[in-house]
Chains A and B, each alone.
Chain A
Amino acid sequence: MKYADITKFWLPRHVLPFFIFIAGFLLLMPVEVLGDTESQESHSVSLADVRRGERFFKGLLPFNREHQACASCHNLSPTDTLNWNPSAYELAQKFLTRDINEFRNAVMQPSGAKMTASHQGFVLEDEDLGHIKAYLDDMAMKGPESTKPTFFNLLIFLGLGLILTWALVEMLFLRKIRYKFIPVLLFLGAFGAQAQMVITDAIRLGRQKAYAPDQPIKFSHAVHVGEQGIDCMYCHTTADHSKSAGLPATDLCMNCHVLIREGTNSGKFEIAKIIESHETGDPIEWTRIHNLPEHVFFSHAVHVGAAKLDCASCHGPVEEMHVMRQHSDLSMGWCVNCHRDTQVDFNDNGYYDTYIKLHEQMKAGEIDTIRAVDTGANDCMRCHY
């Protein structure tokens, strides 16, 4: 799972279907074959049961169903669109250790409002439920379905390289094609496309603007900040006095969620994870979004505590984000240019009394504002040491 999130960024938006087909075909085939042999040996449940359960899950069975397929709400693989429902794999993991009765109860007699609404009118035989559970158990053992292959870009790049080489050879030596513009155009096109790929990747190198990885809990800032109006500092308590803003400890979540056990969007499933973490003592491993390189020493305290910056000026409209994402590109240029524009609280913060000369100049009217850069905010050793 670790690198899957990165691959999303590497996938080109203009992928040729052809390549997808070939590569997908090549990659998925062996996985299927391998999976079969493993499951036969390791389970008492027959492969046929698992297969049948899969068909049910994917909506191929029963033939005349009136409700939606499981898979239409419970994703089989990560998607780009927001899906509040637990994914198939999450379900599989959750119910792996529970028996069929619990599973049946969860599916057929749902408890929360959201689930009740969506699980209405299910017509499923116990046997079929057993098959579905077998399928899910199988999935939980095997891990989630593999994500899409990652090296299209490289293939395209190499392909372009071939075209380019051929066009060059043709232009210079072979001269088989009558119309000279054909190799020239091919050359320029291929070269341009390659250059574009290199440049975009080079720019993206180390930048993660709009990075929005999947989190272990579908925690929505839009709900908590936007709808509920919780202050940032309620959860990120140390932002104004420590370098790190701090992730809320699970017991902080429990302040509210000791009562609130069901969400409007996600139902009970996601909140149950917090409660579980609280009970078992296993911390939640969030995926870090705002990653600065390790030679950068950023301090929230000085920006929030001393400079009184608004969180949104760097983190953006968090109150609108269901899936938290990186708002700013966090490049050095971004930092430095902000320091060039941002005024400091020069007269009111007693720390700046040290800057006697600047105060004199200000009094004399030689300068009217002091910006962060004037007090050395763009020195190397403000952030790198």
Chain B
Amino acid sequence: MIYKTEIRGPLIQGDKSFSQISREILAPIDAKTPMWWYFAMATSLGMLGFGLYCIYLTLANGIGSWGLNNSVGWGWAIVNFVWWIGIGHAGTAFSIFLLILRQQWRTAINRAAEAMTVVAVMCAGLFPLLHMGRPWLFFYIFPYPNTRGPLWVNFNSPLFWDFVAITAYILISASFWYFGMVPDFATIRDTTKSKIKKAVYGFFAFGWTGSSREWLRYEGLSFVLGGIAAVLVVSVHSIVSTDFAVGVIPGWHTTIFPPYFVIGAIFSGFAMVLTLVTIMRGAYKMNDFITDSHIDAVCRVLIFISLIMGTAYMTEIFMAWYSGSIYEYSIIFESRMFGDYAFQFWAMFVANAVVPQLFWFKAVRKRILIVFLISIIINIGMWFERFNIVITSLSRDYLPANWANYSPSWVEVGIFIGTLGLFTAGVLMFFRYIPMIAISEVKSVAKYNKPQTTHQTGHHE
């Protein structure tokens, strides 16, 4: 195994002892909470509060408080759902694919990616529930024995698939993330001086000691979860794509959707990871763990995915023309590219297929601020992609008499803002209370990097 190569540079910079690694990674947890954190948290909670108010309005008045109509039955809620789910793909994709590919550089990032996954999937999971007309009856979707005959559910419905997939995804990604943290919680438990922290983290550490028996089964578990979660990464967003691809609506009914969605999800996920780690580097001085070469690697991946995205867009456009279907042609050309929603289409195209090409230049990759901005642009572009798919298709379907435009109401926008608040609040909580980087994994890759020092006190603070 190659842990240190000429090309990539060291995975961790600055000669660090294990103890130092622990201290530095745990520093945000042990140290005094910085002011900006409170400020950011207050802002996030404010956004969340506004979102909750909008959710209250939706529940109290009905979906009619949104901007939807009889032709466009799904709007921002579904756009946001798909977007968040896409972002939520990064964690698992990061951990799993890079694990399978034996990319050791993932260790510094996968914890953040997984945390982001969990929070993003939580944000995403809100929308299918909220956009239901009668959310209090959501349990109808469970195939449970009942006194109605029993009346089961419809296994043909992509929404049922979706429901199973999202449930599975949120449970699996959360447990994957959590079990990865157990050894780190044990580390906190054993290193902290605060009694409360000792009790709390001790509780969450599940009695972990680091014995060989535990590590043995832990490795086995990682193997199993890693293996099946790899299937999940592909299947979940494929299933989300069937929400559209199984539909009969032009612009939805296409076989390109499953791979297109999976790639898109990874694209937006990686972009969000990039956003997050640049913030981590900036705010918590994690430069030694998240090195320039980490950023560089993610950027290179993004170029590749961006090319795939561009290809997908071109394929859609080509097929709309080549298929000879007047309905497809009308959707792509008359509605998306040059119609009422042209801005959204071109915003998507430029942000996803053009802007990331800047990463070809090393100068761009090296400038963290530009990288950060591009990562944000990609996230916005991916949002527009979902907007394009969901709304343009619905607003210009088969019978022109039904054509109707859609614009969101402020309540819908408020709910989106609320989920952004929820996401940032979750991420801030993660920064504050959970080791941002998988300590034990970093240590395992750090082992050959480090001089054999015997007396490391490691009390830098």
Contacts and interface: CB of A to CB of B under 8 A. Distances in A.
Do A and B touch each other in the complex, judged by CB within 8 A? Answer: yes
Interface of A: 172-173, 203, 207, 329, 331-334, 336-337, 378
A378 B150 CA distance: 12
Contacts of B148: 331-333, 336
B42 interface: no
Interface string B125-157: 000000000000000000000111111000000
B248 interface: no
B149 A332 contact: yes
B203 interface: yes
Contacts of A337: 149
A331 B147 CA distance: 6
A336 B149 contact: yes
Most buried by B among A172, A203, A329, A333: A333
Contacts of B199: 173
A333 B203 contact: no
Given A173-B199, A203-B147, A329-B147, 4 more contacts: A172-B203, A331-B147, A333-B146, A333-B147
B121 to A, nearest CB: 28
Interface string B172-207: 000000000000000000000000000100010000
Contacts of B146: 333
Interface of B: 146-151, 199, 203
21 contacts: A172-B203, A173-B199, A203-B147, A207-B147, A329-B147, A331-B147, A331-B148, A332-B147, A332-B148, A332-B149, A332-B151, A333-B146, A333-B147, A333-B148, A333-B149, A333-B150, A334-B147, A336-B148, A336-B149, A337-B149, A378-B149
A334 B149 CA distance: 7
B79 to A, nearest CB: 32
Contacts of A207: 147
A31 B151 CA distance: 48
A152 B203 CA distance: 37
A337 B150 CA distance: 9
Q: Which 7 A-B pairs have the closest CB atoms?
A: A336-B149, A332-B148, A331-B147, A333-B147, A333-B149, A333-B148, A332-B149
A336 B152 CA distance: 13
A331 B146 CA distance: 10
A330 to B, nearest CB: 10
A378 B151 CA distance: 11
A190 B148 CA distance: 30
A124 B150 CA distance: 63
A332 B146 CA distance: 9
B253 to A, nearest CB: 27
Contacts of B147: 203, 207, 329, 331-334
Contacts of B151: 332
A333 B149 CA distance: 3
Contacts of B150: 333
A35 to B, nearest CB: 41
A334 B199 CA distance: 54
Nearest to B149: A336
Contacts of B203: 172
A329 B151 CA distance: 17
Nearest to A172: B203
B85 to A, nearest CB: 32
A332 B149 CA distance: 6
Nearest to B199: A173
A334 B147 CA distance: 8
A334 B151 CA distance: 12
Nearest to A205: B147
Contacts of A378: 149
Contacts of A173: 199
A172 B151 CA distance: 41
Nearest to A339: B149
Contacts of B149: 332-333, 336-337, 378
B196 to A, nearest CB: 11
A337 B146 CA distance: 13
A329 B147 CA distance: 10
A331 B150 CA distance: 10
Contacts of A203: 147
A331 B151 CA distance: 12
Nearest to A337: B149
A199 to B, nearest CB: 12
A180 to B, nearest CB: 15
Nearest to A206: B147
B367 to A, nearest CB: 50
A48 B313 CA distance: 94
